[in-house]
Amino acid sequence: MVRIPYVEKENAAPEVAELYAKMESRGFPIQNLWKMAAHCPAALGHMIRLGDAVLLKTRLNPTLREIAILRSAVILDCAYETKAHTGMGKQAGVTDEQIQAVKDWKISRAFNKTEQAVLRFTDEITREAKVSDETFTNLQQYLDADMMVELAITIGFYGMLARVLLPFQVDLQEISQSTGQNLLNRSRGQ
C-alpha cells in the first residue's frame, strides 16, 4: 500500500496538471509512478522526457532495452517495473522463456551472445555502478559507442525510478494493451 498520497489531477500544481493533460491527450493514462514523482514538480517533466527518450528515441534495440530493464528490476526487487515491463518486453520481442529466465540468465540458454553481454553489463552497473574491463570490451563487440551509452542511461534511469517506487510502495495499476501498443508504435516511429 502506498505510503503517501499520489498527486491527483484535481490537487496538482498547475505545471503538473499541464503535464498530466499532455500525457492524456496523447492517449497515455497518468501512471502512479508519475503521480508520486509529482511531489517534486520541478523534476517531473524532466523525468517524463527522459523516460520518453530512453523508450522512444534511441537506436538501442527495443528487445535489448527491455531485457536490461527486466534484469535491473529483478536485481532491485522492483515488482512495479517487472510487471510493467513484462508486457512491454513481450511487445518488443522478448520471449516468455527469456522473461522467465532473466532471473537466472547465466544458466539459461534463452539468450544469445549479444543479450548475454547486455545482461552482464546490466548486472554490473545495477550492482556496482561500474563495469569491469572484460564486460566493457565484450559489450563493444555487439553495440557501438552510442548504443552502449544509451544502454547505460536506460539502466540508470530505471534504477532511479526504482528508488522512487520502492520506498513509497507505489502501486502498479493495470497498463492496458493499447497503452503498451501506443508506446511500441511510438518507438517504431508509427
| Domain assignments of the chain as residue spans, ordered by start | 9-57+167-187, 62-165
34 close to 45: Cβ distance less than 8 angstroms: no
111 close to 64: Cβ distance less than 8 angstroms: no
What value does the mean pLDDT take over residues 45-54?
A: 95
Q: Which of 80, 89, 95 is nearest to 55 (CA)?
A: 89
User: What pLDDT score does 177 carry?
Assistant: 46
180 has pLDDT over 90: no
Cell readout for 100 is 522467465
What value does the mean pLDDT take over residues 175-181?
A: 50
Q: What percent of the chain has pLDDT over 90?
A: 87
What does the alpha-carbon distance between residue 31 and residue 174 come to, in Å, rounded to a whole number? Answer: 9
Give Cα separations from 119 to 30, 75, 76, 147, 182 (angstroms): 30, 11, 14, 14, 26
188 has pLDDT over 90: no
Q: Which of 45, 3, 56, 40 is nearest to 165 (CA)?
A: 3
Which CATH superfamily is 62-165 part of?
AhpD-like (1.20.1290.10)
139 close to 118: Cβ distance less than 8 angstroms: yes
User: What pLDDT score does 190 carry?
Assistant: 45
User: What pLDDT score does 183 carry?
Assistant: 52
Q: Can you state the angle between helices 14-25 and 41-56, rounded to 10 degrees? A: 20
Per-residue DSSP letter, 60: S
Mean pLDDT of the chain: 92
What does the alpha-carbon distance between residue 103 and residue 93 come to, in Å, rounded to a whole number? Answer: 18
User: What pLDDT score does 173 carry?
Assistant: 82
Residue with cell 518488443: 92
- What are the pLDDT digits (tens) for 95-123? 999 999 999 999 999 999 999 999 999 99
Residue with cell 527486466: 70
Cell readout for 160 is 532511479
- What are the pLDDT digits (tens) for 4-28? 999 999 999 999 999 999 999 999 8
158 has pLDDT over 80: yes
- What are the pLDDT digits (tens) for 57-84? 999 999 999 999 999 999 999 999 999 9
What value does the mean pLDDT take over residues 116-137?
A: 98
Cell readout for 159 is 534504477
